[in-house]
């Protein structure tokens, strides 16, 4: 469930487009991290803070942040000329195990360094580290074809070339536990103690008793520029939901990826743990990562989705966009549901869609149209789970919709009432396993058009690897069912 508000026509945050000069500012002017736009700005703020080292990070296939501290001299050189990062981070899984089926990189290539560019406009302060700065980076060269952040950037550029500016807001549910990485491992991830007990959604008691944690989360989000529009308890023990404030699509993905990373950091610094698993227990609902999207016309900054007087205020563009999302959802599913665990969530009655359906203000559908005015007409991609890589999930939600606009597709019939109880056309059925979803992605002509052959082949291979790793292990259910009797 979610309570996201309208998407404004422009971001309240400064434009994230890098510029090449800071000549309009004096050298002595104070510069905050989110004012950094250029290489010159980045050098100036590092010098002003007297930093000897700077944090640089990027995101792998699974949306996990990888990075390191870099000396000031090395950082300045990297700003000017780029730097090299071992491409193994695009060739291993979430447990650092090496894919044996990838063509881009592997033992056959020797895992060479790949060129990387630092993005000055992504500068953030790290609140826990006494003035430390963090910059995001992105792969270049051949690695750019399989880099998740670069993939989203290319989809956004395609959207802009079609005459639209995309805006997005992501929201996440996450469970918090009164555990540490050591205690969770010692317990075998069984019988973990939630931060709070019971089912108590939207609880004023919980957020008042534990106001210090809520305030820390809100303050962290403000300082690192992924401001939270709403934060509340959800249904289940220890579960929270945060709606991140809207921004242009690229910035929205950066904010979501940083949110997931640093919520975990904050929790562990407090002796807690936060998980964004799609479903950690059969007893409780899964954890969503819903995406709100809208397009604005670049020529006059009006909503491309809003049409006064039309049914549900939907323009032809929004209907085509909706149709693209609906028709391509089964083909692109493994980019939105990328883990074995993702498919535990997609069962009837637990707030997660099971077919590619749409409805107007209907939270049982995979796509929810939200009527409004010029500033608020949008739709919600409800299929997304908390475990998805934000860059890839947003690339799917935006790219599939844009593809529908390009093709002039029309959506199917809207769902009314409970989508779980209706019978839907076979072509709207979603794959039920990660393996099946990977096969659909490999066979998708639209995916190859939108994302390129290199990315499709690489990511599908990584999901096949994930499925094979799962099959190597014998679970508790198998032992309990077969050990004595069979």
Burial class from Cβ neighbours inside 10 Å (0-12, 13-18, 19+) for residue 251 reads: buried
Q: Is residue 47 part of a domain?
A: no
Over residues 344-369, the pLDDT tens digits come to 988 766 667 789 999 999 988 999 99
Q: Is residue 119 part of a domain?
A: no
Q: How far is CA 289 from CA 277, 390, 434, in A?
A: 10, 9, 18
13: pLDDT strictly greater than 50: no
Quote the tokens at residue 283: 């007893």
Over residues 235-274, the pLDDT tens digits come to 899 999 999 999 999 999 999 999 999 999 999 999 999 9
Q: Is residue 17 part of a domain?
A: no
Q: Which domain holds residue 426?
A: 154-450
Give me the number of domains the chain comprises.
Answer: 1
Q: Is residue 162 part of a domain?
A: yes
Assign 384 a pLDDT band (cuts: 50, 70, 90).
confident
Q: Is residue 95 part of a domain?
A: no
**Residue 333: which CATH number?**
3.30.590.10
Beta strand 164-177 with 273-275 is antiparallel
Measured between alpha carbons, how far is 157 from 141 in angstroms, rounded to an integer?
A: 18
Residue 424, pLDDT score = 78
CB-side neighbour CA atoms (13 Å) of 224: 31
Q: Is residue 199 part of a domain?
A: yes
Q: How far is CA 175 from CA 242, 281, 335, in A?
A: 11, 11, 22
Over residues 163-212, the pLDDT tens digits come to 999 999 999 999 999 999 999 999 999 999 999 999 999 999 999 999 99
pTM listed for this prediction = 0.93
Mean pLDDT of 398-417: 95
Q: Is residue 426 part of a domain?
A: yes
The whole-chain average pLDDT of the chain stands at 92
Over residues 192-206, the pLDDT tens digits come to 999 999 999 999 999
Q: What percentage of the chain has pLDDT greater than the value 90?
A: 85
Q: How many other CB atoms are there within 10 angstroms of residue 469's CB atom?
A: 15
């Amino acid at each position: 469930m979610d309570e996201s508000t309208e998407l404004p026509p422009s971001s309240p945050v400064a434009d994230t487009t890098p510029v090449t000069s800071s000549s309009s500012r004096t050298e002595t002017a104070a510069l905050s991290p989110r004012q950094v736009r250029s290489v010159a700005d980045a050098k100036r703020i590092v010098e002003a803070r007297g930093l000897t080292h700077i944090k640089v990070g990027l995101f792998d296939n699974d949306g996990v942040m990888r990075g390191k501290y870099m000396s000031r001299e090395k950082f300045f050189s990297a700003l000017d000329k780029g730097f090299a990062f071992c491409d193994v981070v695009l060739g291993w899984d979430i447990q650092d195990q090496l894919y044996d089926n990838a063509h881009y990189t592997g033992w056959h290539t020797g895992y060479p360094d790949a060129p990387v560019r630092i993005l000055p406009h992504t500068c953030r302060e790290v609140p826990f580290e006494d003035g430390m700065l963090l910059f995001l980076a992105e792969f270049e060269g051949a690695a750019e074809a399989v880099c998740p952040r670069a993939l989203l950037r290319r989809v956004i550029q395609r959207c802009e070339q079609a005459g639209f500016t995309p805006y997005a807001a992501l929201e996440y549910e996450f469970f918090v536990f009164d555990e540490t990485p050591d205690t969770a491992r010692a317990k075998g991830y069984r019988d973990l103690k939630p931060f709070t007990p019971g089912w108590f959604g939207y609880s004023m008691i919980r957020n008042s008793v534990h106001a210090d944690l809520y305030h820390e989360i809100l303050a962290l989000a403000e300082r690192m520029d992924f401001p939270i529009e709403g934060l509340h308890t959800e249904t289940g023990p220890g579960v929270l939901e945060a709606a991140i404030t809207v921004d242009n699509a690229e910035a929205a993905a950066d904010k979501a990826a940083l949110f997931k990373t640093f919520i975990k950091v904050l929790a562990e610094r407090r002796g807690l743990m936060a998980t964004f698993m799609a479903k950690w227990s059969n007893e409780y609902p899964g954890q969503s990562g819903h995406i709100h999207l809208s397009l604005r016309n670049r020529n006059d900054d009006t909503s491309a989705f809003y049409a006064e007087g039309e049914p549900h205020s939907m323009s032809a563009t929004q209907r085509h966009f909706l149709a693209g999302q609906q028709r391509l959802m089964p083909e692109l599913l493994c980019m939105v549901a990328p883990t074995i665990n993702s498919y535990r969530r997609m069962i009837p009655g637990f707030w997660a869609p099971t077919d590619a359906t749409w409805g107007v203000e209907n939270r049982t559908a995979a796509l929810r149209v939200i009527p409004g005015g010029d500033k608020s007409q949008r739709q919600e991609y409800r299929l997304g789970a908390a475990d998805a890589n934000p860059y890839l999930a947003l690339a799917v939600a935006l790219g599939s919709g844009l593809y529908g606009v390009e093709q002039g597709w029309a959506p199917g019939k809207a769902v009314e009432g409970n989508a779980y109880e209706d019978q839907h056309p076979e072509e709207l059925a979603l794959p039920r396993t990660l393996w099946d979803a990977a096969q659909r992605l490999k066979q998708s002509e639209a995916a190859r058009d939108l994302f390129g052959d290199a990315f499709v082949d690489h990511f599908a291979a990584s999901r096949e690897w994930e499925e094979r790793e799962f099959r190597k292990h014998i679970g508790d259910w198998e032992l309990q069912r077969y050990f004595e009797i069979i």
